[in-house]
A and B are shown apart, each in its own frame.
Chain A
Amino acid sequence: MKAVGMGVAHESAKLHVTGTAKYTGDLDMLDVLVAYPVQAIHARARVLKLDIAAALEVAGVVTVIVESDIPGENNTGAVKHDEPLLSSDVMYHGQALAWVIAETDDAARAGAARIKPQYEILEPILGIQNAINAHSYHTEPLRILRGNPDTILEKTTTLEGEILVGGQDHFYLETQASLAFLDEDGCMVVHSSTQHPSETQAVVAHVLGWARHKVSVQALRMGGGFGGKESQANPYAALAALAALKTRRPVRVRLTRHIDMQLTGKRHPMLGKYRVGFDVTGKLEALHLEIYADGGWSLDLSEAIVSRAMFHCDNAYFIPNLMVKGFVCKTNVTSHTAFRGFGGPQGMVLIEDILDRVARAVKKRPEVVRELNFYNENSLDQHTTHYGQTISDVRIGNIWNTLKTSSDFENRQLEIENFNASHPFLKRGMAITPVKFGISFTTTFLNQAGALVLIYSDGSVQVNHGGTEMGQGLHTKIAQIAAQTLGVNLERIRVMPTRTDKVPNTSATAASSGTDLNGAAVKNACEILRERLEHVAAEMLKCPSDEVRFENGFAVHLKQKLEFEKVVMKAYLERVSLFSTGFFRTPEIHYDKVAGRGEPFRYFAWGASVSEVEIDSLTGMWHLRRSDILHDCGDSINPLVDRGQVEGGFVQGMGWLTMEELVWDDTGKLRTFAPSTYKIPTLADIPLEFHVSLLPRATEEKAVFGSKAVGEPPLMLAISVREALKDAISSFGGLEVKLAAPSTPEAILDAIEIVKDAAREIVMSL
């Protein structure tokens, strides 16, 4: 049986539908304590006094964890050591100043309410523009330059502008959670809902002041991650471990939704300031773009995130002269972090907004101008990115034309024109937008992965690897890869929970790289084992070892075959090792951050989508009439899982761009810290008609089994929804559409008013 390429159901599906799947908050433990934070009520302040005595009087409160309890390094920062776990320096509203550890949630909460810190209030820096004014940055600016944009911009038609792209809360349905306890040897065991067990292990060890081999971290599964548990699971694991060490009892930290939204970082809000130059046809000649990201109070992963925004400010377009600068603003809000796309989406929203504006300036349809500017591999110099990477396999042309035909784009455009002509208040709009997304961690050394595969003497197999399961189906694909490589049925393969004591020094399951890296490492381990078994089988079958094949649970030579388990048992008796590690490092990639040059990506994932919307100009309400997607997953390892990623990513992206609005008030307090005020898409919001296809015959030679990464790229297909809304708004007149992101109904009403005003001015000037 073929395993790779089949639409195999999620490996935990049975556990999920029967309610038996365990999350960190479900793990049973005797005498477990819980935690609740004492939160700062100012965005920037110094704590003068923190008296915990009143909390200790509450029945059920066991202890309060404060800064002086930290035996090791008071830092949980992933890249820079700028994130104290506990500090008297208040850097954002809601920051945890101490954690009350108690027998019950009620007691912990009551204890926390009794602690009234005294503050010296300081002036916060809030918002990107204020940070720019105050020169408040985490790092030196980044830049990538090609050609002479400034010279060209002096000589050609230009437009200038600013776009603020809003952030996004991850809203993983399982909030941050960790459970820590001491084993019989006094070492720390941590169960954590983390995308990065090795870093969680490292941070716990730092905070405790221990060597890492005394800390084991297990990530069984997450109830969603989306980047929000790449670095930001670490503080809660460290806190649970610290409290477990102090109390000598198991401690569980599980944030409530409100606390989670107040404490954890979001997708970065980014401000783009640009000047773009183009010719009369709409072909881009030069772009000068400055991207300012709100990094929040600590650096976290923000520099790499801004880099990815800069790498993706071209999307699928060749821009001959380009200067892009990136800035990480330091402000007094939560520390913004990884979120599906990792800055790429913001960069792509900027260039799509710019292209839409250019198209309207040259009086052409936006899709015509988009197509005109595509990378072109048939032209010698038009398939190299601004950072110098040659794109060897430009797939957008094929995808674009196929999707335009399958979505009946041109006929529907005529229907929309007719509809709009006969409806004064309701307007429809449609847009097609491309996606090109670079695959690999841009921090090159992270592109490595390990595996440990064990074959038991009965022929059953356990697979360990460094990737984590957050619902994306990684473990399912890993099982398929192992089964295919060993030539056995899937039933023989069991993928184990991710543990730092099985595979060390792993990278985060992030950058869409889970299958590319870990799948290749597992394949490597299975190939080593298969080769050993080929020799054993060859002796049994009396044939040369290179003529033995393993398939369907048999070792096969011509018409002879032997059961896999018989070969395994023979190997065991012959004292042949039945376990192996596997390793993979992505070849050839490199990047020089200072020069802004290199080949940071192994390959690119491509896609395109068409969306059609209808807006009500009296209320700003809208709905998504239809979306069509054609996405490139290479030769999909699991089309069922990959389609799920495409659909889920698209809807999540649509939420980000149209309804998920983060509101911080003037004091720096996040006002939208619950689902009552922060709206993610529901079943009522998805497209009324939804056509999703994977690009056929799409082998990617550079990745495992010809597949492509799929986690992040589809999110950016949702830019077509934003551009379709602009298309609908444009039917009220005016030359350009200024639509805020997210485009909530209020924002749509505002945008309609602006185009109507502009249209009136045009009429009056005639």
Chain B
Amino acid sequence: MNEIPVSIKINGKQVTASVESRTLLVHFIREQAELTGTHVGCDSSSCGVCTVLLDGDKPVKSCTMFAVMAHGHEITTVESLAPGGVLHPLQQAFWDQHGLQCGYCTPGMLMTSVALLKHNPNPTEHEIREGLSGNLCRCTGYNNIVKSIQQAAGVMSQAIPAAADD
């Protein structure tokens, strides 16, 4: 076994472990950081349920990235979205709008949506559809996922009007 020391800041906490060089980031997150909110759906970068943020705003499919590639970087997972128990507007919106059924795709959907709204706080419906088309959901038919993101974008633009326009 070729074990390599890897240190990744996950949700603000430094996680260090020696792992086999081919260990995927998603397994590092689930097994070393013990954060199981990030799921595995297809093992092959197609479904998006394992999406996490790299360095704050870049959504990556963590089943297609080796843990060693994230060494020295910051990773954000769904568990970090509600500091102090206060839900992120996207979390609240997916809840309110029934933007989930079985929930398995939800963490990935949320992380991709967080990145989308960071880069584009007021996306059109078309931009939402395009932005989330790399995340599969088998239950909802997606309609309520679009509504969820629209609700969150509305709430977030009201909460920080100046920051968004400046």
Of B32-40, B65-73, B157-165, the stretch lying at the interface with chain A is: B32-40
| B102 engages A471 (CB within 8 Å) | yes
Alpha-carbon distance between A366 and B111 when the two chains are bound, in angstroms: 45
Give the nearest-CB partner of B93 in chain A: A17
A270 at the interface (CB under 8 A from B): no
A21 at the interface (CB under 8 A from B): yes
Give the nearest-CB partner of B42 in chain A: A257
Contacts of A690 in B (CB 8 A): 143
Indicate whether A18 sits within 8 Å of B129 (C-beta atoms), given known contacts A675-B136, A686-B142.
no
B103 smallest CB distance to A (angstroms): 3
A222 at the interface (CB under 8 A from B): yes
| A684 engages B130 (CB within 8 Å) | yes
Indicate whether A19 sits within 8 Å of B138 (C-beta atoms), given known contacts A10-B100, A258-B43.
no
| A18 engages B49 (CB within 8 Å) | no
Contacts of A640 in B (CB 8 A): 98
Alpha-carbon distance between A256 and B46 when the two chains are bound, in angstroms: 13
| A683 engages B146 (CB within 8 Å) | yes
Q: Which of A15, A25, A649 contacts B103 (CB 8 A)?
A: A15
A414 at the interface (CB under 8 A from B): no
Alpha-carbon distance between A12 and B98 when the two chains are bound, in angstroms: 11
| A19 engages B49 (CB within 8 Å) | no
| B100 engages A257 (CB within 8 Å) | no
B120 at the interface (CB under 8 A from A): no
A223 at the interface (CB under 8 A from B): yes
Contacts of A647 in B (CB 8 A): 140-144
Q: Give the most central of B30, B41, B139: most A CB within 10 Å.
A: B139
Q: Give the most central of B41, B87, B143: most A CB within 10 Å.
A: B143
| B37 engages A13 (CB within 8 Å) | no
Q: Which of A226, A641, A674 contacts B46 (CB 8 A)?
A: A674
Alpha-carbon distance between A258 and B44 when the two chains are bound, in angstroms: 9
| B142 engages A683 (CB within 8 Å) | yes
Indicate whether A683 sits within 8 Å of B129 (C-beta atoms), given known contacts A224-B102, A648-B140.
yes
| B133 engages A471 (CB within 8 Å) | no
Alpha-carbon distance between A12 and B104 when the two chains are bound, in angstroms: 12
B151 smallest CB distance to A (angstroms): 13
Contacts of A28 in B (CB 8 A): 34
Give the nearest-CB partner of A653 in chain B: B141
Contacts of B96 in A (CB 8 A): 9
| A19 engages B78 (CB within 8 Å) | yes
Alpha-carbon distance between A67 and B103 when the two chains are bound, in angstroms: 37
Q: Which of A10, A171, A257, A675 contacts B101 (CB 8 A)?
A: A10
Q: Which of B47, B81, B137, B143 contacts A18 (CB 8 A)?
A: B81
Alpha-carbon distance between A647 and B100 when the two chains are bound, in angstroms: 12
Indicate whether A682 sits within 8 Å of B133 (C-beta atoms), given known contacts A26-B36, A471-B139, A674-B44.
yes
| B37 engages A19 (CB within 8 Å) | yes
B77 at the interface (CB under 8 A from A): yes
Alpha-carbon distance between A318 and B94 when the two chains are bound, in angstroms: 43
Indicate whether A13 sits within 8 Å of B82 (C-beta atoms), given known contacts A173-B136, A174-B39, A682-B133.
no
| A17 engages B110 (CB within 8 Å) | yes
A23 at the interface (CB under 8 A from B): yes
Q: Give the most central of A16, A170, A651: most B CB within 10 Å.
A: A16
Q: Give the most central of B20, B41, B101, B146: most A CB within 10 Å.
A: B101
Contacts of A683 in B (CB 8 A): 128-130, 132-133, 135, 142, 145-146
| B82 engages A18 (CB within 8 Å) | yes
A600 at the interface (CB under 8 A from B): no
A233 at the interface (CB under 8 A from B): no
| B136 engages A680 (CB within 8 Å) | yes
Give the nearest-CB partner of B146 in chain A: A683
Please give the residue numbers on chain B whose beta carbons come within 8 Å of chain A beta carbons, in ascending order. Answer: 20, 22, 30, 34-44, 46-47, 49, 77-79, 81-82, 87, 90-92, 94-96, 98, 100-107, 110, 128-130, 132-146
28 contacts between A and B (CB under 8 A): A13-B103, A16-B100, A17-B90, A17-B91, A17-B110, A19-B35, A22-B36, A25-B40, A173-B137, A174-B39, A223-B104, A257-B43, A258-B43, A471-B103, A473-B101, A640-B98, A644-B98, A644-B140, A644-B141, A648-B138, A681-B142, A683-B130, A683-B135, A684-B129, A684-B130, A686-B141, A686-B142, A690-B143
Q: Which 3 A-B pairs have the closest CB atoms?
A: A19-B37, A471-B102, A223-B104
- What 16 new A-B contacts, CB under 8 Å, besides A7-B98, A652-B141, A682-B136? A13-B98, A13-B103, A16-B94, A16-B107, A18-B79, A19-B37, A173-B41, A173-B137, A224-B101, A471-B139, A647-B140, A648-B101, A648-B138, A675-B47, A682-B135, A692-B143
